[in-house]
Amino acid sequence: MSIFDGIGTIREFYLDQLEYSNTINEPDFLVNAAAQVLKKYGGKNWVPIIIKDIGDDKYEVIGNSFVYAVAKAAKLEKILSIVIESTDEAEEISKILSKEVPPKINLSTANKDEIKAKFEYLKSQSNSPLSKIQPNSIENIANKIVKSNRQYWTDLTPLGNLGTNNLVKENLEFISKGFYLTPIEPPEPPKINLSIANRDQIMEGLEFLKEERKLNIDVLDASTKLEQAEKKYWIDYKGVLDLKIKIKDDKLDDFKSVFSLRPELLELPLNIDALTIKKLQEIVKKMGLFIKTRPAKKDYIEAIQKSINSLVNTSEDS
């Protein structure tokens, strides 16, 4: 920047050099009354308006739009103004400091009260699509955000998926006017071979799921149960669900992202068709296989066959 660029110094501009695209929120009588005083006292607007160079000797009003409205109503020929740097950052801070727009809140780090206050502000705006949101609902939203892994959010899509309020999900763009994000890279999940993992390794994996994936699990209880389970033959994860360690179907993908299975092959009789249903049930359980509800005998056999095949195939691949 050169000292001759005229950035940040007070200068005079003709009214017709200035453009303003928004509407001024101040009531007309205030603008007109101020204009009367301005004219009476010599027509110098000692509080400058804030403007941005838009080329061709034209400037856009960025801040102090009230002063602009008053100067216009007073029909001043020239208006004292400050030209800001032509950057988005300079424009944003100018709008914030001249109270044209409220500052955005950092949703990655803000505390619950700040988030609540911002949502209440957004709700209070005229024509706000959030106007029908209840106060206790805002409390709930703020709570869920604080407990989420928002530090990794790169946009507001996950906010819509927190299951708070449909109005939130439908109006993410409006909400984004109030917030910005400074996401950090999420940590790599640990890779644990559940088939042979010891208790410490299991605990590490579960800690990660609890902290980073926000899984609601009792790490001590779950790691004890997982360690003691007869899991070396597990080909699939049904056994994990059966342990009742608060890992449900919908969280299984998170679980799999940390815990892999490299099972030993359970020795089976050559002709499994000849086995009883009870025997087959035992094998399916040992292998941790999923099976459809009300299975027939052929369903058990099919599930076992399929999983063995998949196991043989993957070991051939590797």
Partner 1 sequence: MNSSMTPDLSQLLEKMPKSALSTVVSGGFVTPFLQFLEYDQFSDIYQNFPTGNGDRSDYAVKKTKPNEPSFVETVATNAFKSEPEIIGEVKPRNYSLEEGTGSYESTLNQLKGYLLDPNCQSAKWGFLTNANHIQWFRKHGKVIHPVTASIEINPSNIIDVANDIKALIAEYPKALTVAIYNNKGGIGKTTAAINLAGTLARLDKKVLLIDFDHHQQDLSILLGINNKNHLIKLSDVILKRHKISSTITSISGKFKNQNNSVVNRSFDVIPGDEFMNWERTPEIQYTVVGKTLKQILKPLVNNYDYIIIDTPPNQSLFTYNSLYSSDVVLIPARHDDISSLVNAARAIVNFLPEVQNSRRKNERQGSSCTDAGPIPLPIFLNGGKPTDAAKKLMIESVQEVVSLFNQSHRIDLSEYFFPNHKPGDPNYKIFSVPEYAIIAKAAFKNKPAVFLHNTAYSYYHQLVKEYFLQ
Instruction: List contacts with partner 1 (CB under 8 A).
Output: 1-2, 4-6, 9-12, 14, 53-57, 80, 86
Question: Letter for the amino acid at 127?
Answer: N
Cβ distance to partner 1 smaller for residue 3 or 184: 3
Angle at 153 between CA 252 and CA 223, to 5 degrees: 30
CB of 87 to partner 1, least distance (A): 10
Cβ distance to partner 1 smaller for residue 78 or 232: 78
Other Cβ atoms closer than 10 A to 231: 21
CB of 56 to partner 1, least distance (A): 8
Cβ contact 45:71 at 8 Å? yes
Cβ distance to partner 1 smaller for residue 57 or 188: 57
**Residue entry with tokens 């409390």:** 139
CB of 52 to partner 1, least distance (A): 9
Token pair for 153: 């959010």
Cβ contact 311:268 at 8 Å? no
CB of 57 to partner 1, least distance (A): 6
Helical residues (DSSP H) of the chain, grouped into ranges: 28-40, 65-73, 88-97, 112-124, 135-147, 157-160, 166-170, 172-176, 199-212, 219-228, 238-242, 252-258, 277-286, 297-317
CB of 264 to partner 1, least distance (A): 50
Cβ distance to partner 1 smaller for residue 27 or 55: 55
Cβ distance to partner 1 smaller for residue 57 or 316: 57
What is the C-alpha separation between 5 and 183, in angstroms, rounded?
36
CB of 155 to partner 1, least distance (A): 21
Cβ distance to partner 1 smaller for residue 8 or 135: 8
Cβ contact 263:233 at 8 Å? yes
